[in-house]
Amino acid sequence: MRRLPPAALIGLVFTGLYFFGAIFAGLIAPYGMAEVVGDRWEPWSAAHPLGTDSIGRDLLSRMIWGGQTTIFVATAATLLSFTLGSVLGFVAAVRGGFVDQLLSRFVDLIMSIPSLIFALAVLSVTPVTVPVLILVMGLLDSTRVFRLARAVAVDVTVMDFVEAAKLRGERTGWIIFREILPNALSPLIAEMGLRFIFMVLFISTLSFLGLGVQPPLADWGGIVKENREGIVWGVPAALVPAFAIATLAISVNLVADWILNRTSSLKGGRGG
């Protein structure tokens, strides 16, 4: 194995830490999610390392519980967008022709509307619950995964070794899973990191706008919304999630960069 570069190590440690916190929130969090334990916006103290929030709940506990929601929603949406996008992308690349045209044009259409706007339009008529959020985010974002998966698969499909496998008489299954997939995997995994970051930002934004996770359930975007008035009084409670989101995003980014650098260079982005 090659030695791990320090940036990747930092990324892995922080990513691991956040996921650990999310999974074991119930064991780690000092207080309950909606438990009122003090006055509003108490400053940092030994009892409340991050102070209390707008109605006197322990902010650290809120952050840990909120991290659980945010990471869970983002992970679920990423998995959905990834499975759907990459399966359809591969199918489009390998089958080509009519199937490819149909799928690609439909994706062009969905992507001609900014995804936040599209999500808002859909959420204006559907009930705003966690499953609906995961579904809407995952479906909208699968268009991006589709484009990448298709592009990567098309690049691999034109390689001579794929032709050699076809000439040998191999079945489509072998060609997709043994010849194409191993060569398409690392850009896709790196992209998965970027999609995950995008999902964290997306759900936080929706919650902040009041159209995401609904109170009393905590999530990072919602914590900002709950504590936003504090800002003008000089209470930095709303900035705590900023730190959490930024460090999570940066560490996942570092891991994704590392995976990508080990192979080819492909562009990824946060997109619209």
Buried residues in 128-157 as b, exposed as e (16+ CB within 10 A): bebeebbbbbbbbbbbbbbbbbbebbbbbb
| Least gap, CB of 236 to other proteins (angstroms) | 6
Total number of residues shown for the chain: 272
Alpha-carbon 200 to chain mean position: 5
Stretch that binds other proteins, among 16-24, 43-51, 68-76, 123-131 (CB under 8 A): 123-131
| Count of chain residues binding other proteins (CB under 8 A) | 66
CA-nearest of 26, 89, 87, 31 to 60 is 31
- Answer yes or no whether residue 164 interacts with other proteins by CB under 8 A: yes
Burial environment of residue 105 by CB neighbours within 10 A (0 to 12, 13 to 18, 19 or more): exposed
> CB within 8 A of 246, min separation 6: which ones?
none
Interface pick for other proteins out of 208, 226, 255, 256 (rule CB under 8 A)? 208
Q: Which stretch binds other proteins (CB under 8 A): 28-36, 47-55, 108-116, 145-153?
A: 108-116
Q: How far is the CB of 234 from other proteins (least distance, A)?
A: 5
Q: According to the binding rule CB under 8 A, does residue 109 interact with other proteins?
A: yes
Binder of other proteins out of 130, 205, 217, 266 (CB under 8 A): 205
Distance CA 192, CA 197 (A): 9
13 or 246: whose CB is closer to other proteins? 246
CB 48 within 8 A of CB 38: yes
Distance separating alpha carbons of residues 64 and 233, to the nearest angstrom: 25
Site pattern 232..251 for other proteins (x: CB under 8 A): xxx-x-xx-xx--xx--xx-
Q: What are phi and psi of 57, to 5 degrees?
A: -90, 155
The one among 79, 110, 189, 217 contacting other proteins by CB under 8 A? 110
Q: Which residues bind other proteins (CB under 8 A)?
A: 2, 108-110, 112-114, 116-118, 120-127, 159-161, 163-164, 166-170, 178-179, 182-183, 197, 201, 204-205, 208-211, 221, 224, 228, 231-234, 236, 238-239, 241-242, 245-246, 249-250, 253, 261-264, 267, 269-272
